[in-house]
Amino acid sequence: MELFIALISGAVGGNLAGGLVKGINQGTLINSIAGIVGGGLGSTLLGMLGAPDVAGQAGAVGGLDIGTIIGQVASGGVGGGVVLAVVSALRGMMSK
């Protein structure tokens, strides 16, 4: 369930970053795909770094307490925005 929250948050974060930052918007589909990938990576990386709430290792029954949900939304959204920026930069370099 935690990964699902991170993936959805990543898609939202990718589209939000594409709408807010000039020059990185790649369209809704690419923004969403980059966001989903970034959300999964962000959640996984924070879990590997030992963030227990993000990894779902601590908290309420099933690992879903408010701290876990906030951690997943934050890591997913930030990861989605970062991956979208990387995709945008790569596409810009390839078009030159």
User: What is the average pLDDT score of the chain?
Assistant: 82
Cα 67 to chain center, whole Å?
17
User: Does residue 29 surpass a pLDDT of 90?
Assistant: yes
CA terminus-to-terminus distance, the chain: 41
How far apart are alpha carbons 89 and 60 in whole angstroms?
40
Q: What is the mean pLDDT of residues 30-57?
A: 78
User: Does residue 62 surpass a pLDDT of 70?
Assistant: no
Provide the number of structural domains found in the chain: 1
How far apart are alpha carbons 27 and 51 in whole angstroms?
32
CA atoms within 13 A on the CB side of 86: 11
Q: Is residue 95 part of a domain?
A: no
Q: Is residue 93 part of a domain?
A: no
Per residue in 9-19, pLDDT (tens digit) is 999 998 999 99
Q: Is residue 59 part of a domain?
A: yes
Q: Is residue 96 part of a domain?
A: no
> Does this model's pTM top 0.95?
no
The residue range of the domain holding 64 is 2-88
